[in-house]
Amino acid sequence: MEDKTVLLGLSSEELENWAIAQGHNSFRGRQLHKWIYEKGAKTLNEITVLPKAWRFDLENEGVRVGRLKEIKRSIAHDSTLKLLLSTQDSETIETVGIPTRERLTVCVSSQVGCPMDCQFCATGQGGFRRSLMAHEIVDQVLSVREVMQRRPSHVVFMGMGEPLLNIEEVLAAIRCLGRDLSIGHRKITISTVGVHNTLPKLAELSLRSLGRAQFTLALSLHAPNQKLRETLIPTAKNYPINNLLDDCKKYFNRTGRRVSFEYILLGSLNDSVDHAKELAALLDGFKSHINLIAYNPIDNVDFKRPDSKCVEMFKQVLEQRGVVVTLRASRGLDQNAACGQLRSQHAKFK
């Protein structure tokens, strides 16, 4: 753990050892674990089972639970929750809770801002500040749980930031989510636009730190060819699409986990029948899964939401060519739920 004064992110065993090092019985560590992960304590003062004098000493030493502060929340008509949270160094990040009858998915951020500069994304407009630490990622899940008063079942790294530029902290957060919040790794998804030479690292570090790579890796393609992809994702110039797909195959061979693909449909730009045919040909042989996402409009960007008929036709063309497709329903449109929007609005009116 990078910040030695933060308790969130530590396992029950680690908290027991920490309590012993502090001169207390190991059961104090188990109490800390229960209050942090089950009860959601945000400060040491809330953990009233601990001796008051010890709590006072810890606070004077700068020890803290490591929770973030809620700055703003918005709830859409479809019950999608969006939270703007403040870190210890006063940066702001977003997280989203997406409920259905069967599940509660938390969309978490892995960085403050993002350096990838995807042209259709509000996060990239705000620039990049820093990567998040594991406890700042885990906190987002706890925060959504508290507001929605419901246990999260799934976590997706599809919020602010590029997870593969923060691999070690992302994997530490996944370890904590599985170990301490009982969210199975198969219910966790890491979404990436692709960063050169990081997929082999992700595979090796996953096997080393988690013992396996059971989470889902989702590659955001958003274009069926290199030329169009470069116009949408500037960093793609350094990572040709064929090389990226070759690395996906290597990732599968090393981990045994297939890669799924994300494709944002942008009106009159990448949503034609010809684009669908080209995409099917590009992914021929992968036997994988494609999530289609209709673009969520943001301010100051010219991209537009695709026509519903174009979306359905795109889906049909892929299915006719044997591609497994899911059309992901847009959520929170009336509350600007696209990545980075709540943060940018907050910054605008500060």
Domain CATH number, residue 29: 1.10.150.530
| 109 within some domain | yes
Q: Do residue 276 and residue 321 come from a single domain?
A: yes
What is the pLDDT, as a whole number, of residue 78?
93
Q: Do residue 161 and residue 51 come from a single domain?
A: no
Q: Do residue 165 and residue 248 come from a single domain?
A: yes
Among candidate residues 16, 94, 169, 262, the one labeled active-site is: 94
| 268 within some domain | yes
Q: Do residue 30 and residue 114 come from a single domain?
A: no
pTM: 0.93
Q: Do residue 50 and residue 168 come from a single domain?
A: no
Domain of 249, in residue numbers: 69-348
> Is 102 known to be catalytic?
no
Examine the pLDDT at 349 and tell me if it is beyond 60: no
Render pLDDT for 195-230 as a digit per residue (tens, 0 to 9).
999 999 999 999 999 998 999 999 999 999 999 999
Q: Do residue 99 and residue 242 come from a single domain?
A: yes
Examine the pLDDT at 43 and tell me if it is beyond 70: yes
Element (H, E) at 134: helix 134-148
Q: Do residue 172 and residue 228 come from a single domain?
A: yes
For the chain, how many structural domains are there in total?
2
Q: Do residue 32 and residue 111 come from a single domain?
A: no
| 4 within some domain | no
Sign of the dihedral through C-alpha 302, 268, 224, 160 = positive
Examine the pLDDT at 341 and tell me if it is beyond 50: yes
Q: Do residue 19 and residue 81 come from a single domain?
A: no
Among candidate residues 114, 118, 121, 339, the one labeled active-site is: 339
Residue 6 pairs in a beta bridge with 64
From the centroid of its chain, how far is CA 95? Answer: 8
Backbone angles phi, psi at 299, to 5 degrees: -70, 150
> Is 339 known to be catalytic?
yes
On average, the pLDDT of the chain sits at 93
Render pLDDT for 105-114 as a digit per residue (tens, 0 to 9).
999 999 999 9
Q: Which residues contact 242 (CB under 8 A, 6 or more apart)?
A: 226
Residue 329: pLDDT band with limits 50, 70, 90? confident
What's the CA gap between 275 and 272, in Å, rounded?
A: 5
Residue 348: pLDDT band with limits 50, 70, 90? very low
Q: Do residue 51 and residue 98 come from a single domain?
A: no
Q: Do residue 236 and residue 320 come from a single domain?
A: yes
